[in-house]
Amino acid sequence: MGSWCRGRGGSSKARRRAAVGALAVLTAATTGAGVAAAIPEYSDPNLATTLRCDSPDPWSGQPIPIRVDVYNQIAFPADGLPGPAISLIASDGATPSPVFEYTISTRVDWRNLDTGRTGSVTVPTRARTVTWQVDLHPGGGRVAFTIHQKIGVMAFVPMVNARYSSCAGHTTA
């Protein structure tokens, strides 16, 4: 035994028993023996629809073709809040630029047409392509939403030459 063990209290046999006990507790906790599992089983979301939500490019002014996939019936959304949820995932499908970045502010205003609940979610994004994700928690029912995009470029500061666009859609939560 090394000198680090001397004078630490108890015999080496007692320390080994404590270590084995700690290992048993750790093993039980990680295997779920008698402990509730914290990680839920993954469930596939349902692709409800795909929207086109094009926006002017802050670099050239030409339209950026942006597809927004709308998923519903999501039990475990990416934002970590309890489901069910609706997830909007946008992408321009372009090859990422090695030189410049976009800064994006996306706001989605929603209304549950069955319950009357309303809400708004704003998500900032910085990426080499136009891409973002917004998770909505409107409760069950028919949901209408409006997407507001503000897209600028990162040129020492965010949102240089910002361009604005909006589009709308609906789905069932």
CATH of the domain at 108: 2.60.40
Mean pLDDT of 124-136: 96
Whether 123 and 140 share a structural domain: yes
Residue 143's nearest CA partner among 104, 103, 105, 114 is 114
In total, how many domains does the chain have? 2
Which range, of 2-11, 55-64, 121-130, averages the lowest pLDDT? Answer: 2-11
pLDDT tens column, 35-69: 444 444 455 789 999 999 999 999 887 899 999 99
Whether 57 and 118 map to the same domain: the answer is yes
* Residue 120 and residue 63 share a domain: yes
24 pLDDT above the threshold of 70: no
- Phi, psi dihedrals of residue 133, rounded to the nearest 5°: -140, 135
Do 112 and 35 sit in the same domain of this protein?
A: no
31 in the same domain as 80: no
- Co-location of 5 and 77 in the same domain: no
Show the domain range for 110: 46-172
Q: Are 139 and 65 found together in one domain?
A: yes
**pLDDT attached to residue 31:** 45
Do residues 66 and 140 both lie within one domain? Answer: yes
CB-CB contact of 107 with 98 (8 Å): no
This prediction's pTM = 0.73
